[in-house]
Structure 1
């Protein structure tokens, strides 16, 4: 059965009328064919389990009597949602997303709490004059030396993000010699230098990765990413660091605890 992305099919609405709202099914009960297929693939993913190999596009097209373009569109959405991931030449069921808290805690601590193994790969640790727009955030004068630490973030050997940290050389003069780039930067500041974080300001937005970022993180350039801009202060209220954190939108979600 040939089908285009725009064709629609009826979708059976349960008697209570509530489930279609939660599932994204409009009241008239008709959905694009790729969405109809996507809804039917979800139970298959649950049956296969994490790491399970998905049948080929051809096999899925024959099984559900749809076109291969309909299959591709359904798989694209499941990939973007993080339910599937590419593995070699095939597609497998992805594990649950990492739920990172929006709090003053290191990436290492957040990943370990979820039973995953954190890791980092150093892209670069450079020292250069501080540009004027960054000086106020770091509590230093324009032109004073600052460190730029850039690392790829891993969880269980899977690339999940990119971390870019700026900090004044005056705060951590021996960073290049003393710091293990595979370890937690927060732990280094706390345990080696006695510097503790007091509070931070964060801004979260969605972006598309640049070609360079997509190459480093190992994702297609069109994959939505979660970007966090963070400015941290120490317990005395002095500026400490400016961080740019880029996370894969298909592998991360964020949590925050609210109170009165």
Structure 2
């Protein structure tokens, strides 16, 4: 049976029937959001949107209705703020769920990866962390925290924990703006063999939001990863926050029987 608002030409990744329920009743802001979304599709990356006042007049609604529509488009990453205005955002960065580094994932999309070091500290390994990186409680561990960049735009925050015994010269030999995976492989001769990874959605803490440069209410994608070398020994424990409006994740699934 054919339904109205469910065109045969609909993109496979789009919401069914444009997200409109069968009874046809939708919130006013959502109708405005759909209309502004169509305008966004017509404009190019970086082009400015009309002001809230102009949009309210154009669609015959209150400015608060326009603000709610814009808030959702901002959270979805289709728009971004520039000064006091709003412009069309570029496509989201696609990061593979694999052992490839952040550097490789960003470069594949023609963007320039970078990092800003927040801190590199050495301290006794706490009990909760010890089993994850194969250490005894109290053994020395490094903690490295870096802001992730793509074309100088802050897009994430990464915390890495590694054994000092295994990487004793990390504070002297490693360039914090470079790929940690390349350093581990090329300078230390360690190859990553596998990883356990868990993904969840969270809100950034006030400190994290300040470092990444986002509102605390912006949803984040949080990845926990424990990586192992080819011999099965733990190599790193990483906690990475990615901006939900700037990132999506991809993977390829195998054909095992269900």
Fold equivalence (TM over 0.5): yes
8 Å contact 2:160–2:238 — kept in the other structure? yes
User: What's 1:14 paired with?
Assistant: 5
Deviations along 1:77-116, one digit per CA (max 9) or x if unpaired, are 0001000011111111000001100000100000000111
Q: Distance in 2 between the 1:114 and 1:18 partners?
A: 27
Alignment of 1:26 with 2:26, yes or no, is no
Deviations along 1:186-241, one digit per CA (max 9) or x if unpaired, are 00000111111010000000000000000000110011000000001001111111
User: What's 1:200 paired with?
Assistant: 195
Q: How does 1:1-260 map to 2 (within 5 A)?
A: 13-14=4-5, 21-260=16-255
Name the SS for the 2:187 alignment partner. helix
* RMSD of aligned alpha carbons: 1.5
Q: Distance in 1 between the 2:144 and 2:61 partners?
A: 49
Name the SS for the 2:136 alignment partner. coil
Name the SS for the 1:104 alignment partner. coil
Q: CA 1:73–1:139 in structure 2 vs 1: closer, same or farther (change >3 Å)?
A: same
- Structure 2: segments with no counterpart, 5+ residues: none
1:18 offset after TM fit, Å? Answer: 9.5
TM-score (norm: length of structure 1): 0.93
1:13 offset after TM fit, Å? Answer: 4.0
* More moved, 148-157 vs 43-52: 43-52
Q: Distance in 2 between the 1:87 and 1:30 partners?
A: 34
Q: Distance in 2 between the 1:17 and 1:177 partners?
A: 59
1:16 offset after TM fit, Å? Answer: 5.3
TM-score (norm: length of structure 2): 0.93
User: What's 1:9 paired with?
Assistant: none
Name the SS for the 1:30 alignment partner. coil
Q: Distance in 1 between the 2:91 and 2:196 partners?
A: 28
1:22 offset after TM fit, Å? Answer: 4.0
8 Å contact 1:227–1:247 — kept in the other structure? yes
Q: Distance in 1 between the 2:173 and 2:196 partners?
A: 28
Q: Distance in 2 between the 1:89 and 1:60 partners?
A: 15
Poorly superposed stretches of 4+, deviation over 4 Å? 15-20
8 Å contact 2:6–2:16 — kept in the other structure? no
1:21 offset after TM fit, Å? Answer: 2.8
Q: Distance in 2 between the 1:36 and 1:231 partners?
A: 44
8 Å contact 2:6–2:18 — kept in the other structure? no
1:46 offset after TM fit, Å? Answer: 1.7
8 Å contact 1:60–1:71 — kept in the other structure? yes
